[in-house]
Amino acid sequence: MMRSIERRETGRCPLVCEGEGGDSTGGRPVHAVEKILARAAGQEEVSTGEIVNCRVDLAGINDLYLQTLRSFAEMGGVKVHDPGKVVMFLDHFAPPSTITQADNQKQFRRFCREQGIDLVMDIDQGVCHQVLADRGLVRPGMLLVVTDSHTTTHGAFGAFGTGVGATDLAIILITGRLWFRVPEVIRIDLEGTLSPGVYAKDIILKVIGTLGADYGVYRAVEFTGPALAGLGMAERMTLCNMTTEMGAKTAYIQPDRVTFAFLQGKAQAELPAVTTDPGYRYAAEHCFDVTGMKPQLAAPHSVDNVADVDEYLGRPVDQAYLGTCTGGRVEDLAVAARILRGRRISPGTRFVVVPASKGVFLEAMARGDVQALVEAGATFVTPSCAACLGTHQGILARGETCITASSRNFPGRMGHAGAEIFVASPASVAAAALEGKIADPRKYLE
Amino acid sequence: MEDVITGKAFVYGANVDTDQIYPGGYLDLTDPAEVARHALERVDPDFITEVEPGDVIVAATNFGCGSSREHAAVTLKAAGIAAVVAESFGRIFYRNAINLGLPLVVCPGIAGLVRRGERVRVEMAAGRVVNETTGAVAAAQPLSAYIRAILASDGIKPMIRKQWGLSAE
Q: Which residues of B touch A410 (CB under 8 A)?
A: 17, 19-20, 66
Encode pLDDT of A13-24 as tens digits. Answer: 333 333 334 444
Is A75 in a helix, a strand, or coil? coil
Buried b (16+ CB within 10 A) or exposed e, B136-158: bebebeebeeebeebbebebbbb
- Closest residue on chain B to A302 (Cα): B15
- Calculate ∠ Cα B60-B65-B70, nearest 5°: 120
Residue type, A347: P
- Nearest in space to A137 (alpha carbons), one of A268, A31, A49: A268
Per domain, the residue ranges of chain B are: 4-164
Best of B22, B40, B70, B77 to disrupt the A interface (most A CBs within 10 Å) is B70
Interface size A-B, in CB pairs within 8 Å, comes to 139
| A148: closest CA of chain B, how far (Å) | 5
- Strands A185-191 and A220-224, by their bridges, are parallel
Buried b (16+ CB within 10 A) or exposed e, B71-107: bbbbbbbbbebbbbbbbbbbbbbbbbbbbbbbbbbbb
Q: Verify whether the Cβ–Cβ distance B157 to A64 is below 8 Å.
A: no
Return the pLDDT at B42. Answer: 83
Return the pLDDT at A267. Answer: 72
CA–CA separation, B94 and B85 (whole Å): 11
CA–CA separation, A24 and A366 (whole Å): 52
Encode pLDDT of A340-362 as tens digits. Answer: 999 999 999 999 999 999 999 99
Which residue among B66, B70, B168 sits closest to A65, beta carbon to beta carbon? B70
- Calculate ∠ Cα A149-A155-A160, nearest 5°: 75
Whole-structure pTM value: 0.94
Return the pLDDT at A394. Answer: 95
| A291: closest CA of chain B, how far (Å) | 30
Best of B38, B67, B88 to disrupt the A interface (most A CBs within 10 Å) is B67
Kindly list the distances between the CA atom of residue A285 and the CA atoms of A39, A59, A143, A223, A247, in Å, as whole numbers in the listed order: 26, 31, 24, 10, 17
CA A243 to chain centre: 7
Q: Verify whether the Cβ–Cβ distance A66 to B28 is below 8 Å.
A: yes
Pick out chain B residues at pLDDT < 50: none
Q: Verify whether the Cβ–Cβ distance A214 to B166 is below 8 Å.
A: no
Cβ atoms of A30 and A41 closer than 8 Å? no
Please count the other Cβ atoms lying within 10 Å of the Cβ belonging to residue A122: 16
CATH for the stretch B4-164: 3.20.19.10
Q: Verify whether the Cβ–Cβ distance A213 to B65 is below 8 Å.
A: yes
Return the pLDDT at A21. Answer: 40
| A233: closest CA of chain B, how far (Å) | 24
Cβ atoms of A246 and B88 closer than 8 Å? no
- Nearest in space to A332 (alpha carbons), one of A208, A242, A138, A199: A199
Cβ atoms of B70 and A166 closer than 8 Å? yes
* Preceding amide of A301 cis, omega within 30: yes
Q: Verify whether the Cβ–Cβ distance A413 to B70 is below 8 Å.
A: no
Which residue among A148, A174, A217 sits closest to B68, beta carbon to beta carbon? A148
CA–CA separation, A108 and A267 (whole Å): 26
- State the ipTM, two decimals: 0.96
Return the pLDDT at A445. Answer: 95
> Domains of chain A by range and CATH?
12-270+279-293 (3.30.499.10), 298-441 (3.30.499.10)
Is A357 in a helix, a strand, or coil? strand
| A136: closest CA of chain B, how far (Å) | 24
Which residue among B66, B92, B161 sits closest to A410, beta carbon to beta carbon? B66
Q: Verify whether the Cβ–Cβ distance B160 to A171 is below 8 Å.
A: yes
* Preceding amide of A95 cis, omega within 30: yes
Q: Considering only CB atoms, which residues of chain B are within 8 Å of chain A?
A: 14-15, 17, 19-20, 23-25, 27-30, 42-43, 61-62, 65-71, 73-74, 88-92, 95-96, 99-100, 144, 146, 156-157, 160-161, 164, 166-169
Name the H helices within A243-368: 257-263, 324-327, 330-340, 358-367
Q: Verify whether the Cβ–Cβ distance A73 to B30 is below 8 Å.
A: no
CA A212 to chain centre: 17
Q: What is the DSSP letter of B118?
A: -
What is the torsion angle, in degrees rounded to the nearest 10, for the CA atoms of residue A279, residue A280, residue A284 and residue A286? Answer: -60
Q: Mean pLDDT in chain A?
A: 93
| pLDDT cut 70: percent of chain A above it | 94
Best of A410, A413, A414 to disrupt the B interface (most B CBs within 10 Å) is A410
| A407: closest CA of chain B, how far (Å) | 10
CA–CA separation, A172 and A310 (whole Å): 47
Return the pLDDT at B169. Answer: 64
Cβ atoms of A98 and A18 closer than 8 Å? no
Q: Which residues of A touch B73 (CB under 8 A)?
A: 165
Q: Verify whether the Cβ–Cβ distance B100 to A66 is below 8 Å.
A: no
Q: Verify whether the Cβ–Cβ distance B169 to A218 is below 8 Å.
A: no
- Closest residue on chain A to B72 (Cα): A165
Q: Phi and psi at residue A156, in whole multiples of 5°?
A: -60, -25
| A64: closest CA of chain B, how far (Å) | 6
CA–CA separation, B131 and B138 (whole Å): 9
Cβ atoms of A298 and A242 closer than 8 Å? no
| A137: closest CA of chain B, how far (Å) | 21
Cβ atoms of A297 and A306 closer than 8 Å? yes
Q: How would you write the pLDDT of chain A (446 residues) with one tens digit per residue?
A: 444 443 333 333 333 333 334 444 458 999 999 999 999 999 999 999 999 999 999 999 999 999 999 999 999 999 999 999 999 999 999 999 999 999 999 999 999 999 999 999 999 999 999 999 999 999 999 999 999 999 999 999 999 999 999 999 999 999 999 999 999 999 999 999 999 999 999 999 999 999 999 999 999 999 999 999 999 999 999 999 999 999 999 999 999 999 999 998 887 667 777 999 999 999 999 999 999 999 999 999 999 999 999 999 999 999 999 999 999 999 999 999 999 999 999 999 999 999 999 999 999 999 999 999 999 999 999 999 999 999 999 999 999 999 999 999 999 999 999 999 999 999 999 999 999 999 999 999 98
Is A312 in a helix, a strand, or coil? helix
| A264: closest CA of chain B, how far (Å) | 32
Name the H helices within chain B: 18-21, 32-36, 47-50, 71-79, 91-100, 145-152, 156-164
Return the pLDDT at A26. Answer: 59
Q: How many helices (H) and strands (E) does chain B have?
A: 7, 7
